[in-house]
Every structure is written in C-alpha cells, then in structure tokens.
Amino acid sequence: MLKTKIKTPIEECYKLHLSDLPKGLLHPDKNISGEITKHNGVNKIKIEFNRIYKRNIELYLHVKGGGYGFSQNVEIDFDHVNFGGARPYLLCRCGYRANVLYMKPGNYFFACRECHHLTYALRHINRNVYGSELLYRHHHHMKIEKKKERVKRITYAGKYTRHARSLIRMIAKWKVDEAAERLISKNISKFSTD
C-alpha cells in the first residue's frame, strides 16, 4: 500500500519574506539588526535578526512567541543580473533559493515549500462540485481584503502606487464581487419554494 504525506496548507504557516527585511541588508558598511512580527492567523511570533558575515551574508534569526523559542541561521545567496546588479535570495537548507521561507506549525525551523511539504488550500477545492465555486470565490475575496489592508497609499505624484495597481489588477481578474453576487442569487433561487 502506498502512503502519501498529507500536505499542510501554506496559509497556516508563518512566512519569512525577503521583502520583510530592511533595504540596507546588502550594504557591507551597515550594521543591520531588527525585529519582525509575523501572524499565521492564530498566533503571533517575533523574529529578531542580525546580519553575520562569514563566506556569504547570513541572518541569525531568533524566534520567540506563540509557543516557539529557537534560533536559526539563514544564508542569503545572490544572482547577478544585468548592469552589475545582484538579486538576493533566502537559501533553504536543501539549497533551494527562495523569496519566502515557511515555518509549519509545530516545526522549529524555516524552510522552503518542498522541505515542509506545503500546498495551497485552493488546490484541494474542486470548482465543479456544487457549492465549491462559492468557497473558491470566498477565498479570492479574502485574499483581496488582505491586499486592501496592505495598500497604504493609492496614488503618489498623480500615479497609482505599485500596491494599488496590483490590487486593481487582482479585482479585475477575479471579478469577485459580481461573480459572488451572481452565484449567491443563483443558489438562493434554486432553493426558493415559491
């Protein structure tokens, strides 16, 4: 009999984004340290970080809160891009270069999606089954609401900001409000006993 590992949804995990770290992280003359607060929908943790120079740049992470208390080193790797630039990546234990590392509930380390056997919640929703379309739309609606919270400024110098443009594209692509209204009204009309 073949055993398959049950994958945990990414939405339940803590995420360490490369964009959470300060911009001056790559400059060798600056001493970078700080603290990041992360939520996974249930608990909150604090991640203290310090930059360490060895062969490459490493981050020393100390995680506390939410029942966790551990330390971990995460190496930062670079990919050289055009015009002499360098693009940073967080390096997982397995050697995978990622923009985001995850910490599963109950685990005491950050790693990539493959190492933690993670999946997206939407992959388990069959949109062809009755009622699942509503769940699918609800998930998109919740994602848009989260993105709305991140938009701090809509325009700057007469132009839409990058976050505002991303939100507008997401709303136009998914058409959440119109589709949800149509689906709800269609489902209500099926059950009406007029």
At 97 the pLDDT is: 92
How big is the CA angle at 92 (ends 21 and 86), to the nearest 5 degrees?
55
At 105 the pLDDT is: 82
Tens-of-pLDDT digits for all 194 residues of the chain?
555 567 788 888 888 888 887 776 666 556 677 787 877 766 778 888 777 765 567 778 888 877 778 888 888 888 888 887 778 888 999 999 999 999 888 888 899 999 988 888 777 777 777 777 777 777 788 888 888 887 888 888 988 888 888 888 888 787 755 654 454 445 444 433 43
| Residue 33, SS3 per DSSP | strand
The CA-atom distances, in angstroms, between 24 and each of 18, 20, 28, 32, 33 are 12, 12, 9, 7, 10
Q: Which of 116, 166, 128 lies closest to 12 in space, CA to CA?
A: 116
At 94 the pLDDT is: 92
Burial (CB count within 10 angstroms: exposed 0-12, middle 13-18, buried 19+), residue 89: middle
Q: What is the pLDDT of residues 123-154, one digit of tens each?
A: 777 777 777 777 777 778 888 888 888 788 88
From CA 158, how far away is CA 138, in angstroms rounded?
33
- What residues are paired with 52 via a beta bridge? 58
From CA 90, how far away is CA 58, in angstroms rounded?
9
Please enumerate in sequence order all residues whose Cβ is within 8 A of that of 109, keeping only pairs 6 or more positions apart, or say none.
70, 72, 93, 103
The CA-atom distances, in angstroms, between 32 and each of 25, 27, 53, 167 are 6, 9, 11, 31
Residue 40 identity (one-letter amino acid): N
Q: What is the pTM of this model?
A: 0.67
At 177 the pLDDT is: 57
CB 14 within 8 A of CB 125: no
CB atoms within 10 A of CB 63: 23
Per the structure block, which two tokens stand in for 118? 């993670």
